[in-house]
Chains A and B, each alone.
Chain A
């Protein structure tokens, strides 16, 4: 069957919509590309900066860990949630490497590949938000998004266990 026989005109993107979508895509990829080039341009400064940060970090570590301990019990709920999600995911991920060894040669290899792709995409988005979080640049909206991503990842891992894709 030819696509024209099946689809109606209302199923197709209008030229205006195509242009609108492309503008969004181009803005997004330009932003990402600029970020990348700035990183490479300033690689040397970045390395010196990173070295200095490590020294500073070590110096403040002792002080920080003391504060961390005393604040642990007074953390806001948001942070407690994030920590809880992260540790739950870590526990579930302990069983994931076993899947790659056992399922990869079976007919479920395609499903596994899709799952791995989904998890990789979530990991990328989570790590971006975690970086913001470490910089203290995490708005309420971003916090909600981060928790949503944790939930999605947990639910994929849970589904894999429930469907028997991960042998227990």
Chain B
């Protein structure tokens, strides 16, 4: 049994110290990811706190086969979506599964720091898929579960996002 699984089992029995270990392991990745979608750090703290509280309350239902971080990210994203829905800041994007077979998902891609500005122009869903896959290292299956998308949709969104960044990069070099 891994350390994390042991902490989860102990947290299920109400052990706060074990839950603190889980918190320490996941707070930074979760916070830095959520920070990309909200300028107000107090709001980010609020979502992150609520996600951890819900994780603790519902940890009894957490399946051993699942990944704790995937579950935690999904809880935090749900908190963000619910608040945004209430505040009506932006309409939630609905992404439908389509036939994306024409999109080349194997194209080579090299990150450049300049791309950050172009990435910021894209929709939240596109940025989320890109960050979760390219930066945080999640699989498309995990991203699909977190964002409520089809796995193929996640692949296509990533390919299109990379394509867009690559094109912008080439354009900037031609100037």
Instruction: Please measure, in the bound complex, the distance between the C-alpha atom of A156 and the C-alpha atom of B84, giving whole angstroms.
Output: 12
Known contacts being A22-B23, A29-B53, A121-B54, is A1 close to B111, with CB within 8 Å?
yes
A24 proximal to B (CB < 8 A): yes
Distance to closest chain A CB from B91 (angstroms)? 10
Q: Which residues of A contact B92 (CB under 8 A)?
A: 159
Instruction: Kindly count the residue-residue contacts between A and B in the assembled complex, taking CB atoms under 8 Å apart.
Output: 97
Q: Which residues of A contact B54 (CB under 8 A)?
A: 121
With beta carbons under 8 angstroms apart, the residue of A1, A12, A33 that contacts B28 is A12
Stretch of A67-75, A83-91, A93-101, A105-113 with 4 or more beta carbons under 8 angstroms from chain B: A105-113
Q: Which residues of B contact A123 (CB under 8 A)?
A: none
Instruction: Please measure, in the bound complex, the distance between the C-alpha atom of A107 and the C-alpha atom of B150, giving whole angstroms.
Output: 6
Q: Which residues of B contact A163 (CB under 8 A)?
A: 94
Interface residues of A in 1-48 (CB under 8 A from B): 1, 3, 5-7, 11-13, 17-18, 20-22, 24-26, 28-30, 32-33
Contact A24 B148 (CB under 8 A): no
Nearest A-chain residue to B42, judged by Cβ: A17
| Known contacts A6-B131, A25-B49, A117-B78, then 9 further A-B pairs from the complex at CB < 8 Å, ordered by chain A residue | A1-B134, A12-B31, A13-B28, A18-B28, A20-B45, A25-B53, A29-B56, A114-B74, A118-B78
